[in-house]
Amino acid sequence: MPLESDVLVCGAGIAGIATAYHLAVRKGIENVILVDERPPLTLTSDKSTECYRNWWPGPDDSMIAFMNRSIDLMEELAEESGNIFRMNRRGYLFATADPDKAEKFREAAEEAERLGAGPLRIHDSIDSDYEYSAQQMDNFHAPVSGADLLLGKEVVHRHFPYISGKAIAAIHPRRAGWLSAQQMGMYMLEQAREHGVRFISGRVEAVETRGGRVVEVEVASKGEALHIGTPNFVDAAGPFVGHVAGLLGIELPVFAELHMKVILNDYLGVVPRDAPLLIWSDPQYLPWNKEEREFFAKSEETRWLLEEFPGGVHTRPEGGPESNMILILWDYKNQVMDPVPDPPLDPLYAEIAIRGLSAILPGMSAYFERMPKPILDGGYYVKTRENRPLIGPMPVEGSYVIGALSGYGIMASNAAGELLATHIEGGQLPAYAKSFSLERYQDPEYRKVLKKLEEESWEL
Ligand SMILES: Cc1cc2nc3c(=O)[nH]c(=O)nc-3n(C[C@H](O)[C@H](O)[C@H](O)COP(=O)(O)OP(=O)(O)OC[C@H]3O[C@@H](n4cnc5c(N)ncnc54)[C@H](O)[C@@H]3O)c2cc1C
């Protein structure tokens, strides 16, 4: 009996699963086959920090409208599942010791407000800030949105006494937080399967076309070559999205960067269990002692440890009040590379991340001499040059891509899966569809703003 499907999705990471879910559950296209050579969600989608935010730069409202939609959809899933994936709304807290950066926080918040992220509220004295509740929101329904800008050391420390006394300002975007990506993905996969989606364990080896359109996909599965007839093929291959598009002779404008994260037992409780995602925005020099500095200065291989490191080190508590675990992530060395299945991880990462984190959380210095045993992992941010995703048709009829989801693929997965499913069913596309299509690079108007987009594409 030959295998047939209406849509075949290559890749059961969060992007492929969200596509299958939106096709089957929300749009009623039930004859969908999902193919992956690994168990679902085990390549990149289980390596993330699992955070989300509607806090994005312009110059247009594409990213904010897209993320607002994605968060709406995640909230619907949280609601219907009894919040099985523990979505919260604690927000992100960016802190700085630099007056120029404080001004940039204000400009960014004004822009985000104009583009639809919600209102900016400014708190610049301890008398005027009574309405700001830093109390963290474990309730994903919390109505608070937009951002709170805290100005002045006293105001920052009144609400966040545990962060560095050097912080003179902090911005707290509120439609933001985190969730369990694994549980959200598995919930969507189960729903998709109940609506007819079939999972095949195997590797997509070839995509056949006839008369310029997709007709069949070859999958190597358990020593057999399966030939699956299908008019629609979705490339959701994560780090290998470029390779899979290459099976159709298509070259995608993407590259991959290796990013790492560390999980630690914060047994001293330096990160309060009710903290938001905490981010130190300023560049810094790592706090080494005199002997360490002299030692590192001697060798070419270690001298870089004495150079300036970029801003952006961040952490959040992982697990409930009974847990001591924290996640730390710091993109100090975005290494562009051809993706390989088991990427090489920097053995110094944990030590560097802990030292860097002491800039915002001085209590971390207690771990310099006795570091808790770190668990290190990592994966790839697959990116376009302006850090916007690729979602939509590819140049061969019947072929589609959902990829280049960079460091935001979990939070974007729902709006991305919905958008691709809408492309496939031929439905009414949202206004942001154009900004994420592969065709955008042919548009002279888009090319004019590309440079600005490249400069502004925020990353965490
Ligand atoms: C350290 C780190 C932190 C991050 N933090 C966040 C965060 O806080 N918030 C957020 O939203 N995002 C975050 N991300 C980004 C997010 O994890 C990714 O954008 C997302 O997981 C990408 O999902 P994907 O489905 O495109 O790729 P993947 O999860 O990699 O899935 C792709 C799948 O395709 C399969 N595949 C590839 N080729 C083939 C083939 N030929 N045949 C069959 N199967 C194939 C693979 O086996 C894999 O399972 C982070 C990423 C990293 C690395």
Which residues sit opposite 210 in a β-bridge?
Answer: 213
pLDDT digits (tens, 9 = 90+) for 202-226: 999 999 999 999 999 999 999 999 9
36 lines ligand 1 (CB under 6 A): yes
Strand ranges (E), 174-292: 176-178, 198-201, 203-210, 213-221, 224-229, 233-235, 255-265, 277-280
**Residue 381: helix, strand or coil by DSSP?**
strand
Per-residue pLDDT at 458 exceeds 90: no
Residues 6+ apart with CB under 8 A from 300: none
Per-residue pLDDT at 402 exceeds 90: yes
Q: pTM score, two decimals? A: 0.96
CB 254 within 8 Å of CB 403: yes
Whole-angstrom distance, CA of residue 13 vs CA of residue 404: 13
pLDDT digits (tens, 9 = 90+) for 55-85: 998 889 999 999 999 999 999 999 999 999 9
- Rg of the Cα atoms in the chain: 23
Mean pLDDT within 245-256 = 97
pLDDT digits (tens, 9 = 90+) for 96-133: 999 999 999 999 999 999 999 999 999 988 776 556 76
CB 435 within 8 Å of CB 416: no
318 lines ligand 1 (CB under 6 A): no
pLDDT digits (tens, 9 = 90+) for 279-314: 999 999 999 999 999 999 999 999 999 999 999 999
Q: Which residue's CA is the nearest one to ligand 1's atom 41?
A: 204
Whole-angstrom distance, CA of residue 394 vs CA of residue 13: 20
CB 260 within 8 Å of CB 388: no
Length of the chain: 460
| Percentage of the chain lying above the pLDDT 70 cut | 97
CA torsion 389-395-397-399 (nearest 10°) is: -40
pLDDT digits (tens, 9 = 90+) for 7-63: 999 999 999 999 999 999 999 998 999 999 999 999 999 999 999 999 998 889 999
Mean pLDDT within 172-197 = 97
149 lines ligand 1 (CB under 6 A): no
Domains in the chain with CATH codes:
3-50+181-254+384-456 (3.50.50.60), 92-176+257-377 (3.30.9.10)
What per-residue confidence (pLDDT) applies to 144?
Answer: 86
Ligand 1 pocket: which of 10, 17, 45, 175 to mutate (most atoms <8 Å of CB)?
A: 45
238 lines ligand 1 (CB under 6 A): yes
